[in-house]
Copies of this chain bind each other. A is one copy, B any other.
Amino acid sequence: MAKQRLSKQDWLTAALTALAEGGVGAVAVEPLAHRLGVTRGSFYWHFADRNALLREALEWWEAQGTEAVIERVDGIAEPRQRLRALFRIAITEDPTNGLEPALVAHADDPVVAPALHRVTRRRTAFLAEVYAELGLPAPQARYQAACAYAAYVGWMQLRRATPTALPEIADDPDALTHFVEHLVLAIPDTTPP
C-alpha cells in the first residue's frame, strides 16, 4: 500500500508533520521511519543526521509558507484587499497547521532560530509596507505590522491548541471576518484621554 522506495521529500513532509504535531523533539528518526514503514537505514542514506533533516524541512517551509503566499497577493492593487487576501490565505490555507507554535517553543534551537528570524522579518516587513501604503507614517506602520502579525500568530496558535475552548476561532466564518477586518482597519489615533 505504501511506497516501497522513499524520496527525500517524503522524509521532509513527514518531518514537518511530526514537527507540527509534537514539536522539535518529535522530529526523531526512528519514529518517523516507523511511520513511513521503513527502517532508519533509509534515513541515513538521504540525510547526514537529524539536524540536516530539520534544517532542510524548515527551508522548505520557509519558501512555501512565506514567499509563495506573498507572491500570490502582491499583484492586488488595492492595499486593503491585498491585506484581506493575505490574511485569509495565511489562515485558511495553512498546509502545516500548528507548525509555528512548535518552532517558537524551541526558538533557542540553533537550527530553528535562523529560519524563524528570517520568516518573521520578511512577513512583518511586507505588512509594514502595506500599512505604509495605507497612509500610516513609517513608525506607526511598523507598530501596526507587529500587532497584526502577533494577532495572526496567536490566532493560529489558539486554533490549534484549544479549538474546543474557543469554538468561534475554529470554524465560525463571522469570527474570521471580524478578525480580518480588525487587522485590516488600522487605528489612526491612539492617544488615551
Contacts and interface: CB of A to CB of B under 8 A. Distances in A.
Quick one: copies of this chain in the complex?
2
A13 interface: no
Interface stretch (A36-44, A63-71, A102-110): A102-110
B162 A116 contact: yes
Given A182-B187, A190-B181, A120 B162 contact: yes
B107 A104 contact: no
Contacts of A121: 162, 165-166
B142 A168 contact: yes
Interface string A125-155: 0000000000000011011101101111111
7 tightest A-B CB contacts, nearest first: A154-B154, A105-B105, A150-B154, A153-B154, A107-B161, A151-B151, A181-B190
